Amino acid sequence: MLEKKPHQIIILLTISLVLMSSIMRAPITTMPLMLPQIAESLHVDQSQLGIITTIPLVMFLLISNFATKTMVKFGLNRALMLSLLSIIIGSILRMLVNMPLILLGTALIGSGIAHLNVLMPPFVATYFPNKIGLYTSVYSLAIMVGSAVFSLITAPCCRCIWLAGCHGIVGISARSYFTFMVFDD
């Protein structure tokens, strides 16, 4: 691999930070917008799909306490990649319109995001130790902008390319995974 200048590494780290942050809420906040289409494709009442919006919150409760153990065992970068991989696999599973796979995918996404919630502050502290406040603000802003952008594009995408396409767009988290791979331990 070619040697990178320090400013190039900072740019790649910042891009990774923004991309990872941008997917930390979108898979959860866009799901309620797609419930009518999911209910129709599964031939169930919308009220039966409430569990889909609850699973990520339960995963936050159950998994967040163990995220630091994952980081200690695998290292920060590998733990972040495992979290992103969990979100990617979960997004792929939710593209398959099958209730057990949608539930499993949602649980994987919730687990991945629960880890990211805990691992992002150490990421900022490790790679931006002299500008923690600035990069924490960047990360917080990226969470909000990512959620807003994905919420805005969900309805038009559902109309144009329907459900699988919507999940695929939410699953664009692969972009941050491949960007971040550069910094593997």
Q: What is the mean pLDDT of residues 40-65?
A: 89
Q: What is the mean pLDDT of residues 158-178?
A: 54
pLDDT in tens, 81-109: 999 899 989 988 888 878 899 999 999 99
Domain of residue 14 covers 6-183
Distance CA 176, CA 118 (A): 17
The mean predicted confidence, pLDDT, of the chain is: 83
Of 32, 39, 12, nearest to 150 by C-alpha is 32
CATH number at residue 59: 1.20.1250.20
Kindly indicate the confidence band of residue 161, based on its pLDDT and cuts at 50, 70 and 90.
Answer: low
Is position 82 within any domain?
yes
Q: What letter does residue 130 receive in the DSSP assignment?
A: T
Number of domains composing the chain: 1
Is position 1 within any domain?
no
